[in-house]
Structure formats: structure tokens, C-alpha cells
Amino acid sequence: MKKIVFYSFIGVLGFIVVLLTVLLNYRPHVPQLEKYGIEASLPSTGNGLIVQFTGNTNILISDGKTSILTDGFFTRPGVAKVLWGEVAPDESIIKYCLDRAGIEQLDAVIPVHSHFDHAMDSPIVAELTGATLIGSESTANIGRGLGFPENQMVIPKSGETIQLGTFKVTLVKGRHWPYPDPEMRAKLLDREIALPLIPPMNAFEYVEGASYTIIIEHAEATVAIHGSAGFIPNVLNEYEVDILFLGLGGLETMDGVYNDNYQMHVVDALSPDVIVPIHWDDFFIPLKDGIKSRSLLEKVLQGMDVKKSFEMVEERNPNRKMVVLPLWERLNVSEIRRKD
């Protein structure tokens, strides 16, 4: 009898392991990734304004003289570490990704907010590339915990414009996507990192700080990086951009009223010709393995459905071009804006 119970337990445990493996590794098909995917018809010459996507909300913008990177999140610890362990920047992974992206020198690294999947690596990236770290007081405390020099950090006021070489950069304070889970909202949103954060650390110690829309103006084009699917009504009304990098993560969990308001106060307010979705990929997967959409497990447990979030944006913006950027590839802005 004991043997029967034992082998039954082993069988059930094995079934659970197999089921979880399938749910973690199966990726529901997202046809928009092919529909809106773009590749450069010609290699970037390095002349003019270029952009490069390196996962999540990492966007490089450069004109060959001045280079700006948002976030610079490359370590991408696995889900087990994030939920039950501790996280820390992995310098070897960061160096690999910078080398893979061809990034040697930067003028600024700007996290969109201070959660681990945005700002954890930012000070290391800034140190390795000689960049200034720009962000909230919480982002500065992530830098201080890693020994980043105080004189290489800038904490701008919301709406303040900073001149960075050939670019004008404005950080406009907004709001993070409101997690449906009240416990997650209480842990991670509307909180500051009050003291230097010294890793390794529980991922949930990387609280929001301030969430920004980053407006980057250049003679060739104006772009906005809006990293999270949250908004404050009317704060973006005075700005207009050519390309909007629009955070989709979590949008699919919200109702139609929220979606309408999000797009009215972000997309309609900024009036872009082109929308580039960001924050849609699974940031627990190492970049060396390529970029993948969210797993079936996240869809089952949290309602995360990349296909649905794309549909919510495309249905409301039939007259705007939508583009999905390839990983690692540098594209001229003129290529992205080109009318099909």
C-alpha cells in the first residue's frame, strides 16, 4: 500500500513538473510580430538618426555624435530568482549585451522608472560606457548602492529639458500601469527607494520611484519612450512626437474604458505617425536566446496576452503605422518613418 501511495505521489509530481514546463515554454502565437516586423532594407550607415531595440524597454537613440540609452536592462534574472531569491546586476552578461549591440560609449542612460527590470543594471551600463545616469531619486539610490559617482547623476524636475549634445531630453512624470493585484500595487507602486540599494536584493525592493515619459528631440525627429501602460491625464498634451515607443505590458489585463483613456492621454496626446510597441517580451528569458513573447503560464495566471495588447492598440489606431523592431539591429529613423 505504501508503495502505491509513493508511486502515485511521484506520478502526480512528475505530471505537475511536465505541465509547468509546458506552460513556461509554450508561447502563444502573436501574428502582429510578423505583421509589423521590420528589417532594414540597407544596413545602417551610421549617418543620421538611428534607433536600436535590445529588449524590454531598452532603446538606443544616436546620431553618431550623441548616444542615449533608455534603461539598459540586460541581466534578466529568471523567474525563480525574482520570486523567491535575490537579484543583482551581472556584469559579464551586461558586457556581452553591450558588445553584441555594438555599444561602446553613451552620453546618458535613462531608466523609465526604478523597478528591477528597468533600472537594476543602469548604473553598471553607465559606468562601462562613461554615461551620465539620469532619473529619479530612487534611480540615484540604485546608483549609490553600486558606488556610482554622484557627479555623474542628474535628477531632473518633471518637465525640465536637458541638453545632451545634439538632443534635448525632457522627462515628464507619469504613472505606472496599475497592477490588478492590490498586494503588488502596495509593494511596488508609489514608493521611493529612500536609501542606497546594495545588491543582491529581493527584486521587490526595486520599487517604482517615479515613472517617466522620455521626450527626445532632435533635428531629424522627435521621439517619446513611454515605458509603462499607465498615464496621468493631460500631462503630455503640450508635446508632439514623430515616433512613440509605447509600453504594452499589462494593458491587456485592463478593461476597455482604461484602454481608451490610456490611448487618449498618451497616443492621441502625443500624436505620433509611428507606434513602436515595447515592454511586450518575456524579460525573464536571456537575450542570448533571442526575444520571445510572454509564456502561456503568464497568460493563465495573470491574463498576460501579448496578442490582445497589440490588438487593443491597432484597433484604435488604424491610420497610424505600427512597427515591431528586430532585436539588436540598428535602423535609420527615416526607414522606420517611411510610408509603405
Confidence of residue 132 (pLDDT cuts 50, 70, 90): very high
Nearest by Cα to 212 from 112, 140, 62, 297: 112
Confidence of residue 35 (pLDDT cuts 50, 70, 90): confident
Average pLDDT over residues 138-153: 98
Q: Is the pLDDT of residue 264 over 70?
A: yes
| Per-residue model confidence (pLDDT) at position 210 | 97
Average pLDDT over residues 256-267: 96
Distance of alpha carbon 249 from alpha carbon 306, whole angstroms: 8
User: Tell me: the pLDDT tens digits for 190-230?
Assistant: 999 999 999 999 999 999 999 999 999 999 999 999 999 99
- Domains of the chain, each with CATH number or no CATH: 29-337 (3.60.15.10)
| Per-residue model confidence (pLDDT) at position 40 | 56
Nearest by Cα to 92 from 286, 289, 331: 286
Q: Is the pLDDT of residue 329 over 60?
A: yes
Q: Which residue has the cell 509603462?
A: 228
Q: Is the pLDDT of residue 134 over 70?
A: yes
- Its pTM stands at 0.91
Confidence of residue 306 (pLDDT cuts 50, 70, 90): confident
User: Tell me: the pLDDT tens digits for 79-117?
Assistant: 889 989 999 999 999 999 999 999 999 999 999 999 999
| Per-residue model confidence (pLDDT) at position 63 | 96
| Per-residue model confidence (pLDDT) at position 131 | 98
Q: Is the pLDDT of residue 269 over 90?
A: yes
Average pLDDT over residues 286-313: 76
| Per-residue model confidence (pLDDT) at position 34 | 84
User: Tell me: the pLDDT tens digits for 39-71?
Assistant: 655 455 556 899 999 999 999 999 999 999 999
| Per-residue model confidence (pLDDT) at position 19 | 46
